[in-house]
Structure 1
Amino acid sequence: MATAGDPDIITDFIVPANVTTIDGNFFTFTGMRALVKSGPPTNTTTFTAWKAGLAEFQALNGQSVSYDVLYFPAGSINPPHTRVRPTGLLFLLQGIDDIVLAKSFKTEVATIQALKATLAPKP
């Protein structure tokens, strides 16, 4: 049996008071297009995050979602974390996440990293 619910049963989306025209532009967020066109940053050695929440994208009002792009430099890991709701969607654009591999093969992250180190091409 499956059970589902709408976290905001009053509305599906809320039109802000300062918006008079609802068209495709209202539902289109363009703030992250540069990331898609240029790919991941090449000169970044630190963790970088880009965000599109309600303040940046008003069409999200009533949706109970936001968008985040998280850039982890080479060799870094996505630390264990929790969410307020048990939801999340991950798009891995480059490489294979060690945590995903460890869960898939039912082993530890350190084992995966050791295996990847031995399989890496030698310079």
Structure 2
Amino acid sequence: MAKSLVLLVVLVFFTTVQATNPNSDADFTVPSGMKIDGDFFTYTGLRGSPSSSSNGIDKKTVTMKNFPALDGMGISMELLEFSPGAVNVPHTHPRGAEIMFVVDGALTVGTTDSTGQLYKNDLQKGDVFVFPTGMVHYQANFDKSNKAIGVSAFSSVNAGTIDLPKNIFGSNMPGEVLAKAFKISADTVRQLETNQM
């Protein structure tokens, strides 16, 4: 019995080690045909201002798609510029935690846990806030005169983003389901659906 238990523990340990670190025989992953030098480990795409958006939040992302050195690293990041009054609507990242650093200005941020408890704070330049994997959260620049800049890092090469208003009211879910779920009228559901298009 004791030998069987030891064998089971050893088997689970080695299976877990293999499952969590498949590239343990290499320092990093190199795409086929790519030259390796300092440039391989350097990304310059954050220079300059991000492209303009319609929601007042301009973004530049750093992912494996545009920075191949991230392959196998399990990380990615994003530069966000919030126009005065801009709100990054409630959303989740189902495949990774997020840590946000405020580079300039001020942001109000918050996240909820699985019981619906809200944890929020007002961040200033130099502050950091963490959003656990899959938890609903938001960021807002309530300053009506000044922009705010933040850098978010993710514990995943593709943390994914589920924009709750768009994914709920822009998904063609039956209006009756949404009206009952949010305890709102069918007319309000139609207005919310129209605003997501």
**TM-score where L is the length of structure 1:** 0.60
2:120 corresponds to: 103
1:87 corresponds to: 97
Question: Displacement, 1:56?
Answer: 0.8
Which aligned segments of 4 or more residues in structure 1 are displaced greater than 6 angstroms?
Answer: none
If you compute each CA radius of gyration, which structure gives the higher value, 1 or 2? 2
Q: In the alignment, does 2:37 pair up with 1:23?
A: yes
State the AA in 1 paired with 2:90. P
Flag structure 1 segments of 5+ consecutive residues without an equivalent: 106-112
Alignment partners' CA distance in 2, 1:89 and 1:6: 27
Alignment partners' CA distance in 1, 2:101 and 2:71: 23
Cα 1:31–1:71 shift into 2, 3 Å: same
1:63 corresponds to: 73
**Overall identity of the aligned pairs, in %:** 31
Contact 1:7 1:64 in 2 (8 A): no
Contact 2:57 2:88 in 1 (8 A): no
Cα 1:56–1:86 shift into 2, 3 Å: closer
Alignment partners' CA distance in 1, 2:18 and 2:82: 33
SS for the counterpart of 1:54 is coil
1:109 corresponds to: none
Alignment partners' CA distance in 1, 2:55 and 2:96: 30
State the AA in 1 paired with 2:39. N
Deviations 1:15-42 (A, max 9, x none): 10021x322111000111224xxxx88x
Q: How many residues align?
A: 98
Flag structure 2 segments of 5+ consecutive residues without an equivalent: 1-16, 111-118, 123-141, 146-197
| More off after superposition, 67-76 vs 82-91 | 82-91
RMSD (Å) for aligned C-alpha atoms: 3.5
**Bigger strand fraction:** 2
1:75 corresponds to: 85
Contact 1:49 1:69 in 2 (8 A): yes
Structural mapping, 1:23-42, within 5 Å: 23-35=37-49
